[in-house]
């Protein structure tokens, strides 16, 4: 864990993935995230709430890319990725920020605090 100027700037590694655990990832993001509900037609139908990080801060774990497939529509800028096995979208590339990765809040592993 690293920190910068204020305690709200503490960056931690969040882990998560899909339901069947074939797609696993890790992301560097603030300990306290700001998330929002996406209003695109795909996310609206799924009820997706996410937070966005720079793509360089997101890493798929070894072998996960073999279980990921992608759906696009409209401008084909947003890349809605999901697990080929269980169908869960644990992350995607948003149209509003194609250089970032939107991480689905419900797919972040629970954290146990001391």
pLDDT of residue 2 exceeding 60: no
pLDDT of residue 12 exceeding 70: yes
φ, ψ of residue 67 to 5 degrees: the values are -105, 5
pTM: 0.81
Domain boundaries, the chain: 7-107
Q: How confident is the model at residue 71 (pLDDT cuts 50, 70, 90)?
A: confident
Instruction: Residue 83: name the closest of 14, 22, 34 by CA.
Output: 22
Cβ neighbours for 56, distance < 8 A, ≥ 6 positions apart: none
pLDDT digits (tens, 9 = 90+) for 16-66: 999 999 999 999 998 888 888 877 777 777 778 899 999 999 999 988 889
CATH 2.170.150.70 for the 7-107 domain, yes or no: yes
């Amino acid at each position: 864990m690293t920190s910068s100027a204020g305690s709200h700037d503490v960056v931690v590694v969040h882990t998560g993935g899909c339901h069947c655990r074939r797609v696993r990832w890790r992301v560097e993001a603030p300990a306290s995230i700001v998330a929002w509900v996406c209003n695109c037609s795909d996310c609206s139908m799924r009820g997706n709430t996410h937070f966005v990080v720079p793509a360089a801060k997101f890493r798929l774990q070894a072998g996960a890319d073999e279980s990921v497939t992608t759906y696009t529509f409209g401008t084909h800028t947003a890349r809605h990725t999901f697990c080929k096995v269980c169908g869960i979208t644990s992350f995607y590339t948003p149209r509003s920020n194609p250089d970032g990765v939107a991480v689905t809040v419900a797919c972040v592993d629970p954290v146990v605090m001391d």
